[in-house]
Structure 1
Amino acid sequence: MNTINTTYAGIWRVIPSPGPELRLGSPEDPLVQEVAKQARLLQASRVGCRRRGSLYEAYIPDGTLFGGRSLPPIRGLSPEASRRANLLLGSGSGIRVQPGRDEEFDQLQTDYFAAWDRARAYTAAVLALPRARV
């Protein structure tokens, strides 16, 4: 996981915030709207990168595929802090996506791995703005 995050590290630092494209034209301009749309998609990829790890939990398997019970929370910690501590301490015998959060995890994964394609689409939209002005 660290290798993948290091490889992708450069793209996460340069993802733009939506908004600067308004300096290049009216908000009603379809080209400006396309740049804003692509910037929002890139932001979704950043969110996917940052949040997908928060959906994992340590658990005790019961022998079925991803079946088993979640580890009990650590007394004195919030549920989220307890979940992170259990993952870091290596408690439990397995790691899985929290039950009931598979759909959210799949969306975050899709957004995360779409970053490069979305970066190309954003670049194409940005380059279309000055070309249309010439």
Structure 2
Amino acid sequence: MNAINTTYAGIWRAIPSPGPELRLGSPDDLLVQEVARQARLLQASRVGYRKRDSLYEAFIPDGTPLGGRSLPPIRGLSPEASRRANRLLGRGNGMRVRPGRDEEFGQLQADYFAV
């Protein structure tokens, strides 16, 4: 339990809900505003940490940089569950950020390292 509490997860569990400045004192105080800003960065960091891996997919490369085709979905699974299963089972010959999700991935990456 101590190991869990000293990791990122332990830090993120202690993040106040949105609007921490209302709990800390006068919203006009510059120190309260800075603490609130840091808490929001931690919240963004937590979201980035949890979601950035969900944008990866396993694929079959065609020899060009990040070119190739996505693996077909596994029958009987939802598209998201199929994508996760393909990644976890090591199907395909490569891993990439899903096409069209580069901007979202970049934002999650920036948020993850915001703190």
- The TM-score with structure 1 as length reference comes to 0.70
Partner of 1:96: 96
- Offset from partner CA, 1:14-51 (integer Å, 9 cap, x none): 33333343133244x14334332322121001100000
Report the CA distance shift for 1:79/1:16 in structure 2 as closer, same or farther (over 3 A).
same
Contact 2:20/2:39 (<8 A) preserved: no
Work out the CA distance in 1 between the residues paired with 2:7 and 2:40: 22
* Correspondences of 1:67-106 after superposition (within 5 Å): 67-106=67-106
Work out the CA distance in 1 between the residues paired with 2:90 and 2:83: 11
Report the CA distance shift for 1:107/1:82 in structure 2 as closer, same or farther (over 3 A).
same
Partner of 1:16: 16
Q: Which range moves more in the overlay, 8-17 or 39-48?
A: 8-17
- The TM-score with structure 2 as length reference comes to 0.81
- Offset from partner CA, 1:36-68 (integer Å, 9 cap, x none): 232212100110000000000000000011100
List gaps (5 residues or longer) in structure 2: 1-5
* Structure 2 SS opposite 1:57: strand
Aligned residues: 109
Which structure has the bigger radius of gyration? 1
Higher helix share: 1
